[in-house]
Structure 1
Amino acid sequence: MSTQRIFITGGASGLGRAIALRFGRAGWRVCIADVNDTRGAETLQALAPLTSHTHYLRCDVTREEELTAASEWLTANWGGVDVVVNNAGVAQAGGIEDVPLSDWQWIVDINLLGVVRGCKVFTPLFKRQGRGHFVNVASMAGLLDMPRMSSYNATKAAVVSLSETLQNELADDRIGVSLVCPSFFKTNLGDSLRTSDPGMRTALTKLLERSPITADDIADQIFRAVEQREFYVLPHKEGRRAWLMKKLLPRDIYSSMIQKRTRRLRGRTGVAQT
């Protein structure tokens, strides 16, 4: 069997870079897409000792034509692609009354429509090939409902619904889907954070740094999910437990637990309670 090929949006840093390196170590052809050319070059340099076929494409997921150009490059140069990872994402935090609609439009365009565009553009190629696999990176925020994160939660919840739908819609075309829902882990998500509350930035940084799970750990789980064609990738034990409680407990009991946890978290991180 010929060397398998993977395309990763947001592949120059954070989880995207970890995914690129994990598949590179397995000998895959790795094409990373990003809007940060400097980080793209750095990741290509890190990939060079791992696999002989790597490429960087400047690609903005808010522009369908740039994803189409990526699909065309992969077809022309590598004969197609086996796995597409819709990973590019940003963060936004704040109370519902404080977040401007422009921030909602910004995060929806990247976190949700960026995944939609990736799936829309690459599905025809997968169908022509007779196979393919999407890895859509959402978050436990899409399964749970932490306060003061409504725009982020909503986009990730939409990615969950989209992925669940496509799992059913594309099964007969031999197109697999994996949905990745991590909780907090050490990454550079804070670089993209938009918030008017400095306390939220401090809290997010502390939560990211505190996590015992790394981007490499999550990349390992994604690699196994692709091999085994698994749908849910839920790396964090605490997140899995919280999701189970949300499904099983009455809403008022679960909601009360979340509110109490949020108050304790604000107390530990110094976020003002408003």
Structure 2
Amino acid sequence: MSRVLITGAASGLGAALADAFEARGDEVLRTDVVGLDTPSLVPRDGYSTSEILRLDITSEDDWAAALAHVEETWGGLEVLVNNAGVAGGGRLDVAGLDEWQWIFDINLFGAVRGTRTFVPLFKRQRSGRIVNVASLAGLVHPAGMASYNAVKAAVVALTETTGHELAAYGVTAHVVCPSYFRTNLMSSIRGADTALAGVMSRLVDESPVSAADIAAAVLDGLDRGDEVILPDPAGRAAYGLKQADRATYDVVMRDQARKLDEGAQG
């Protein structure tokens, strides 16, 4: 049995991950900034919510409180899942710098704050797993999504660096890079590029993959010890194309850029 802290666990992939860990007998501390009184957190057949804690990942005080709660309640932690994040993006001449700063503060520095908070504990234990939820956008970079691509690529780089730095302490780092799947992430999107928001919302709504599907694949990847987890077929195919045939990949990406511009113009 593992002790697991998950951010952004009131809904979406965070809730699905919490359910998946709990279903196999792990203890879970579900954290989020809102929504922790939702029906999805009511104990259900076979498993029940272990702990619930409000945590704003942009607040160092909240992170310190989460660490204190873990130490006082459990005395240690096996898995930290930096899942909480927001949707964003926009073409380079449309998205404002304020949008870039907003998404980086949450999607990158939220994970940085969580990692920095728990690294001393993991070092003392000489064990632990840090799981950062990035996106396929961290590996494959569609047009119109510069800020989202950049912040998710930064999460991939953060995770790899973390794994190298903490290997001597028995701590592993894993990054999750899903493609589009059905979730409520788009409710968080903001920005001036409404054309991009429309495209992203459609891809999310029409995806055949659910948050529960992604969560199950994440746990399988962790059980295998995968450092980079590509949990869905579409994501694996897109990244495989980039690695195997860069010229064709570039053609596809530039065609998408053209269609985005044409759609925005009318």
TM bucket, shorter chain: over 0.9
CA distance in 2: counterparts of 1:74 and 1:117, whole angstroms: 16
Change (3 A) 1:206 1:44: closer
Counterpart contact for 2:94–2:193, Cα < 8 Å: no
- TM-score, scaled relative to structure 2: 0.93
1:136 aligns with one of 107, 116, 132: 132
2:24 aligns with one of 26, 36, 39: 26
Unaligned runs of 5+ in 1: none
Letter in 2 for 1:58: R
Counterpart contact for 1:142–1:160, Cα < 8 Å: yes
How many residues align structurally?
Answer: 266
Q: Give the equivalent residue in structure 1 for 2:66.
A: 70
Is 1:255 the counterpart of 2:250 in the alignment?
yes
| Equivalent residue runs for 1:33-182 within 5 Å | 33-36=31-34, 39-42=35-38, 45-47=41-43, 49-51=45-47, 54-182=50-178
RMSD over aligned Cα atoms: 2.0
Identical counterparts, % of pairs: 41
- TM-score, scaled relative to structure 1: 0.90
Change (3 A) 1:43 1:263: farther
CA distance in 1: counterparts of 2:124 and 2:40, whole angstroms: 29
Change (3 A) 1:47 1:182: farther
1:238 aligns with one of 234, 245, 248: 234
Deviant stretches of 4+, over 3 Å? 43-53, 261-264
CA distance in 1: counterparts of 2:263 and 2:182, whole angstroms: 20
Alpha-carbon distance, 1:202 to partner: 2.2
Change (3 A) 1:47 1:226: farther
Letter in 2 for 1:139: S
Counterpart contact for 1:133–1:177, Cα < 8 Å: yes
